[in-house]
Amino acid sequence: MATEQAAQRSLEERLLADTQAAMRSGDVARRDILRMMRAAVHNEEVARRGKLDDAAVVEVLRRELKKREEALLLFQQGKRDDLVAKARNEIEIISSYLPSQLGPEEVERIVREVAQELGATDQRQMGQVMKAVMPRLKGLADGKLVNETVRRVLANKG
């Protein structure tokens, strides 16, 4: 029964419940990142002037994740081990709220299917393939990975 209720809760409700749990347990780092995530969602709701559905919340969390990943690279380059550990922790927490990403093999399989459906055979048709494949992979794969995969698949066909 409890797992059914958890599955029916929106992502935003889950963030609130987990924030409260982190506060009760004294997990300051987790509490802070969850508050930041909720603030980002709230700011987006204010900007859009309405409540966000789970897909929009996932979009906001992906943006926050990308910021942390970029910061992580900078911290590593600056040899700031303290900030590297903090950024990794934040990335781990944010990632736990996002749907799992498809692997490169699965992305390539979908790109090949779309290219075959469209009859795409060379690089000049990359725009068509990207336009058709992105809605299928939205939220399931990184756009950069999809772009690289489409380029590679079409280069091998031409």
Domain with CATH 1.10.1510.10 in the chain: 9-95
CATH class of 9-95: mainly alpha
**Mean pLDDT (whole number) for 11-37:** 95
Residue 98 backbone zone (phi > 0: left; psi -120 to 50: alpha; other: beta): beta
Q: What share of the chain has pLDDT > 90, as a percent?
A: 68
Domain with CATH 1.10.10.410 in the chain: 104-157
- Two structure tokens written together for 150: 């489409």
Q: Identify which has the larger pLDDT, 37 or 157.
A: 37
Q: Identify which has the larger pLDDT, 5 or 77.
A: 77
Please tell me the distance from the alpha carbon of residue 146 to that of residue 150, in angstroms, as a whole number.
6
Please tell me the distance from the alpha carbon of residue 56 to that of residue 53, in angstroms, as a whole number.
5
Would you state the pLDDT for residue 139?
77
CATH code of the domain made up of 104-157: 1.10.10.410
pLDDT for 158 beyond 70: no
pLDDT for 17 beyond 50: yes
Cβ atoms of 83 and 74 within 8 Å: the answer is no
pLDDT tens-digit readout, 90-139: 999 999 999 888 889 999 999 999 999 999 888 889 999 999 999 888 87
Specify the residue for token string 């809605």: 135
Give the chain's mean pLDDT. Answer: 89
